[in-house]
């Protein structure tokens, strides 16, 4: 399954990381970023993206202009949790669980087969996703959280943005296969939303969870998945398999609460990295902590009770 992701890049940085070539001989180019939909909602970079949040998604440009080649790409912010096109009323109250969809059920699903057959395939972009270990018999609140990401260049540390070279090719994003649909409100405003396709884990990932998102590891796989005119449904589905390339490490349980957007969410457990852009509240808390430590050194002490956030998967 996939219940939380991380993407802290601004739109222009996402474009930089998504350069592509239509053919081997063609020059690389950036996909257009379209932001005119979604009922006024905008994508907000975050270390802890949860269902119903918006995040950038790659789709074929032909979905927006029939004259475009289906191999051309655009980036569109979409809401995570697919809203069926036939739903009436508040889009937040359709009552269905559409964060993820099972690969095994797609073809026969009354909910997901219409967008699948319409070629509405997409690629969800993220720096990584979070997963909670469910293969050990422990209480939900005690499950270990992990951050899963793609391998990076030798000098790049996925948890440390100071090591990223955004002036060139950026970082290796993790790209998940998904489906999207388009819902319209009573005023005709469009909301784009997506679901992440999952499948049975391979041996590598099964120690953490029995399900895994369908991750597209190569540019060729991304191209075929998006190019709905040249790649039929069966051929596209045959592309999807458990990733053998992903890497992961354990993170703090602060990520359990979806309201916690701290830049410490994706840091290795027990490790904190200084960030010059840390918000004012975090800087104030750090200064307060240091003051307390200075006070303790002088001979006083105090006990602090830390209330752990509730687990949210």
Q: How far is Cα 203 from Cα 108, in angstroms, rounded to an integer? A: 27
Q: Give pLDDT, residue 169.
A: 76
Averaged pLDDT for residues 22-40: 88
The CATH fold of domain 4-297 = hypothetical protein yedk fold (3.90.1680)
Query: Which residue among the candidates 127, 131, 159, 217 is catalytic per the annotation?
Result: 131
Q: Which residue has the higher pLDDT, 177 or 274?
A: 177
Domains in the chain: boundaries: 4-297
Residue 2 a catalytic site member: yes
Q: Which are the contacts of 9, defined by CB distance < 8 A and separation ≥ 6?
A: 17, 45, 127, 166, 170
Give the E-state strand segments of 150-303 in sequence order: 174-184, 190-200, 211-213, 247-251
* Ordered alpha helix ranges (H), 158-279: 219-226, 233-237
Q: Indicate if the pLDDT at residue 300 is higher than 70.
A: no
If one counts every other C-beta atom within 10 angstroms of the C-beta of residue 200, the result is 14
Q: Indicate if the pLDDT at residue 23 is higher than 80.
A: no
Q: Which residue has the higher pLDDT, 186 or 31?
A: 31
Q: Give pLDDT, residue 120.
A: 98
Residue 293 a catalytic site member: no
The whole-chain average pLDDT of the chain stands at 86
Contact 36, 210 (CB under 8 A): no
Q: Give pLDDT, residue 1.
A: 65
Q: pLDDT, tens digit, for every residue of 86-124?
A: 999 888 888 899 999 999 999 999 999 999 999 999 999
Strand partners, 123: 58, 177
């Amino acid at each position: 399954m996939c219940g939380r992701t991380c993407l802290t890049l601004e739109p222009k940085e996402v474009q930089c990381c998504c350069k592509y070539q239509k053919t081997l001989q063609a020059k690389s180019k950036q996909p257009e970023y379209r932001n005119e939909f979604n009922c006024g909602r905008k994508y907000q970079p975050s270390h802890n993206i949860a269902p119903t949040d918006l995040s950038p998604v790659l789709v074929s440009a032909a979905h927006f202009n029939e004259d475009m080649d289906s191999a051309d790409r655009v980036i569109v912010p979409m809401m995570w949790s697919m809203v069926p096109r036939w739903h009436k009323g508040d889009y937040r109250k359709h009552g269905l669980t559409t964060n993820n969809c099972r690969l095994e059920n797609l073809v026969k699903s009354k909910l997901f087969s219409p967008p699948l057959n319409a070629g509405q395939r997409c690629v969800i972009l993220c720096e990584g996703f979070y997963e909670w270990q469910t293969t050990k018999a422990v209480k939900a609140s005690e499950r270990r959280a992990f951050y899963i990401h793609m391998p990076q260049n030798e000098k790049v540390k996925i948890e440390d943005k100071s090591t990223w070279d955004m002036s060139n090719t950026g970082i290796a994003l993790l790209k998940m296969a998904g489906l999207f649909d388009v819902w319209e409100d009573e005023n005709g405003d469009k909301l784009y939303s997506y679901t992440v396709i999952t499948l049975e884990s391979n041996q590598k990932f099964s120690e953490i969870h029995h399900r895994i998102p369908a991750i597209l590891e190569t540019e060729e796989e991304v191209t075929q998945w998006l190019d709905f005119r040249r790649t039929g449904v069966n051929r596209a589905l045959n592309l999807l398999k458990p990733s053998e390339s992903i890497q992961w490490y354990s993170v703090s349980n602060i990520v359990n609460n979806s309201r916690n957007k701290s830049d410490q969410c994706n840091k290795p457990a027990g490790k904190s990295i200084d960030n010059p852009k840390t918000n004012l509240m975090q800087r104030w808390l750090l200064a307060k902590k240091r003051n307390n430590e200075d006070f303790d050194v002088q001979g006083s002490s105090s006990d602090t009770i830390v209330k752990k956030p509730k687990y949210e998967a």
